[in-house]
Each structure stands twice: as C-alpha cells, then as structure tokens.
Amino acid sequence: MLTGPMLIVAFVIALAFLFLLIIKWKVEPFLALTVIAFGTAIAIGIPLKEVPGIVTAGFGNTLTGVGILIGLGVIFGSFLGASGAVEKIAGSLLKLFGIKKSPAGLALTGTVVSIPVFFDAAFVILSGLLKSLATRTGISIITFVTALGIGLITSHNMIAPTPGPMVVAENTGSDLGLFILYGIICAIPATLVGGFLYGKYIGKRVQATVDELEAVQAEPESKRKEISTGLSFGMLILPIALILMNTISKMLFPGTGLASFFGFVGDKNIALLISVLVAIIVLRPYISENYNSLYSESISTAGMIVLITGAGGAFGAVINHSGIGDYLITTMQSWSIPVLLLAFIFSQILRASLGSSTVALVTTSSIMGPLVLDLGVSPILLGLAICAGGIGLSLPNDSGFWVVNRFGKLTVTQTLRVWTLGGFIAGLTALAAVYALSLFSGILPGL
C-alpha cells in the first residue's frame, strides 16, 4: 500500500482523472466518481478483497446522513415552488435588502440559518430561492448560489452549536459563549467577502448554461389561489424551527422527556418529513399542478442527486482509508510557521484531502488543542483559526460539493469556481478576522 508523499501524488492524479472524465470526456458524474473510487483504491494498494466493501460502505454511510434528506428536500422544494411560496419569500427579501444588495441578504440569511441547521439540510431547504431571486432581479443565478452556499458553510464551520466548532471549542478549552461571539464576528466579514462580493464578481464572469437560463425564466401565470407572505415564511421556517428546537432543548433540558421528544421531531430527516406532510395538506389550495406530476419530477431529480452524492462519499472514504490524514499530520507538525497560520493550513489541507470539514476541524483541534499552553496563544484564537481552515477547498471527494453542484444547477467547472474558490476566499477572510482580533489580545475578554 502506498505511503508518504506517494499518497499525495495518488490523490492529485485521481482528481486529475476525475476532472478529465467529467469535464473533457463528458462522463456522467456518478459513473466517473464510481470508477475513480474503485481505481484509486486499487492504485494505492488496498487489498483487492477489501476494495468493494470500502467503496460501498463509503457510499452507504454518506447516504445515511443525506439520502432521505435529499429526497424529502426536493419534494418540499417542489411544493413551495408550485404554491408560489418561494416567490413570496423572494419578494420579501428584495423589499428588505433591495435588488442590488439581495445577494448579501441571501448570504446573511444563510449564515443565520446554518447556526442551528446542518449545511446540507439548509442548502436543500433554501435552494428554491435561487431561481426566484434570479428571475426577479436579473442578477446571475451564479451570484445567488455563491451567496447562499458560502453563507451557509461559513456559519457551519465558525459558529457553534454545529458539531465542528463545538468540538474545537471543547478541545481547545475555550469558553463556549465567547467562542460563539467571536465566531460570529469572524463569520460576518467572511460571508460578505466570499459570498456577496466574490459572488457578484464571479456571477459576471461565469456564463449560465442553457439549462440554467431556462431555469430562471418566469413561470407562466396560473389560476391558483395566491398564498400569503406569512404562510410562505411559515412553511420555509417550519423544518428550521423543528431542528432549532432540538438544539435548544438539548442545551436547556438535557436528559428530559422534552429533550427526547424534540430530539425525535427535530432530527433533520423527521423535521423535513413533517414539513412535507404539512405542505401536502396546507398548500393544496395554492397548487394548480397535478400532485402525481410533482412527485414524479421530484423523485426523478432526487434519484440522480442521491447517486452522485453517494459516489462522492465513496471516493472520500477511499481517500480516508489511505491514511493520507495521518501522513499530513506528521508532516505539518515539523513546519516552522506562525501557530495561527499553521492551524489554518493544517485544517485546510485536511479539509481538501479528506472531504469533510467536520473531520478536519475535529482532527486538527485534537492535535493542537492540548498544546495551547505550550504554543502561547489564546485558545479562542487558535480554535477560530482551525475553524476558518475548514471553510474552503471543497473538492469532489466532499458530498457537499455535489449537493451544491446539483441543487445549484452548476457544471463541475462552475462548482469549482463558485463553491470551491469562493469558500477558500471566505476562509482566508475569516483567518484575517482572527488576526485582527489577535491585535486586541489582553484587551477583549478571552483573548
């Protein structure tokens, strides 16, 4: 089995072949990812009898987290769209922020929503706004995808109580309240720079494909009953509120029956299932389309997204099994780099190679957290630098890459330019904010 630098070489070659298959030779992403997952496993020397199990386990484990979510999310989004709820919500955002600043409004909305809600669930729920906002404003849908995706992933990595930042705060011995406060302070500029400003920049330079151009055309008028703004927001917020109640009940009433109840209804899959059932009943008067057609279109769309997302997880599982994370840890511990920058780089490289921001944050903080006193740095600053490193460089071995790719209706090249690079810029901005906070060490509490 390959070890040391050859693992890095194998990973880079695997990505290069994957991009060739999808971008140059136009191979369907699901097939390309599956071929690369098996091929990489064989190339790095995993015993042949173990290869099928590793690949299929990676596929299945990924879908354990997002499979049902994607299916329900697509159905939920279809009902919100068919009822006119998405257009109402988009119109309200435009009134609040104005046309020019509507991407900033969507980015900040994503930042707030992703505090209690996992990235994948939040992106699926809010992705229906992309089409409507692009139609109403004339602004490129690419800009809105960037704003939403970067807003969500920044908050997901910087602000507890999402799992990554929570573990980082614990491993570094940081005060959780202050860690959340300073995480918000760092997340806002990162969201605005990586999501809003970069989104406006890239939206003017990436041309929409034919499918995307068709996607942002206004829908024909129908005789459906007009839905109210309040009901529209109520339906969108329902799954978010259920998930949020799960989080709050765990914090305020741990170990109680109330926490158990909300732990069930607030599970992201159950919360979305409840929301779909409510939508079927409550939105019926506002939908003129045939329900069977909505179901068929939704299931067809969800099926391909599930396959591609699972295959991305399979590729990531092979890379994880290779031991590349352990090699990178050993290598970087010998680098003579300022500690905050080292923490960022450590986390960023693990994020790119392992395909999971949460794993990158947990691994990095597990190594560097116990060394806080020896390193002579504020635990909060060290933790935030680690969190900043988990934001960007999402590659095809990350299932989130494919969620954005499919729900954002992007090509792979566009996903790299919009999502991967946008996240990297947001991460650098968050790191800059951490360094700015370090100037006030000894002045601000906890620093």
pTM > 0.75: yes or no? yes
DSSP 445: T
Alpha carbon distance, N-terminus to C-terminus of the chain = 45
CA 65, 106, 250: angle at the middle one, nearest 5?
A: 45
Q: How far apart are CA 208 and CA 216, in angstroms?
A: 10
- C-alpha closest to that of 367 among 116, 168, 197, 230: 168
Helix axes 268-282, 119-126, angle to 10 degrees: 20
- Compute the distance between CA of residue 216 and CA of residue 136 in angstroms, rounded to an integer: 9
The CA-based dihedral angle spanning residues 159, 161, 167, 170, taken in that order and rounded to the nearest 10 degrees: 90
| Per-residue confidence in pLDDT tens, the chain, 447 aa | 888 889 989 999 999 999 999 988 989 999 999 999 999 999 999 999 999 999 999 999 988 878 898 899 889 988 988 898 988 888 888 889 999 899 999 999 888 888 767 788 889 888 888 988 998 899 999 999 999 999 999 999 999 878 889 889 988 989 888 898 999 999 999 999 999 999 999 999 987 654 444 444 434 444 568 999 999 999 989 998 898 898 788 888 988 999 999 999 998 899 999 999 999 999 999 998 888 888 998 888 889 888 998 998 899 899 889 888 778 777 877 777 888 999 999 899 989 988 888 888 988 888 888 878 877 889 999 999 999 999 989 999 888 899 999 999 899 999 999 999 999 999 999 999 999 999 998 888 888
Given this model, what pLDDT does residue 223 score? Answer: 57
Q: What residues have CB less than 8 Å from 299, skipping those under 6 apart?
A: 71, 74, 75
Rounded Cα–Cα distance for residues 321 and 317 (Å): 6
**Cβ neighbours, 10 Å, residue 15:** 18
Query: CA angle at residue 302 from 297 to 93, to 5 degrees?
Result: 85
Tell me the CA distances in angstroms from 443 to 172, 430, 438, one per residue in order. 20, 20, 10
Those residues with Cβ within 8 angstroms of residue 43's Cβ, 6 or more apart along the chain or in another chain:
2, 10, 13, 14
- What is the token pair recorded at 441? 């060490």
